[in-house]
Amino acid sequence: MQIISIVGASVLVGNNIEIIRQEYHDTLRLNRKPERPELWDGKTAGRCLEAILEWRRW
């Protein structure tokens, strides 16, 4: 059984080693410049905590 699903920057390929290798090599050949989404800065937990605490103050 072959599973291939592409979601954003991730590719779900299952556990077939040949498919994993092929997807790995295909990814290395891509000519792309990854960009980080806004707020992808490692501070999400703090923002979530602040939002929860603010919500509790209501």
| pLDDT at residue number 25 | 92
CA distance between the termini of the chain: 52
| pLDDT at residue number 43 | 94
Q: Which single residue is written with the structure tokens 């990854």?
A: 34
Q: Which single residue is written with the structure tokens 């592409």?
A: 6
Q: Spell out the per-residue pLDDT of the chain, length 58, in tens.
A: 455 555 566 777 889 899 899 988 988 888 777 777 888 889 999 999 999 999 998 8
Q: Give how far Cα 6 sits from Cα of 26, 32, 41, Å.
A: 13, 15, 24
Taking the C-alpha atoms of residue 17 and residue 22, their distance in angstroms, rounded to an integer, is 9
| pLDDT at residue number 58 | 83
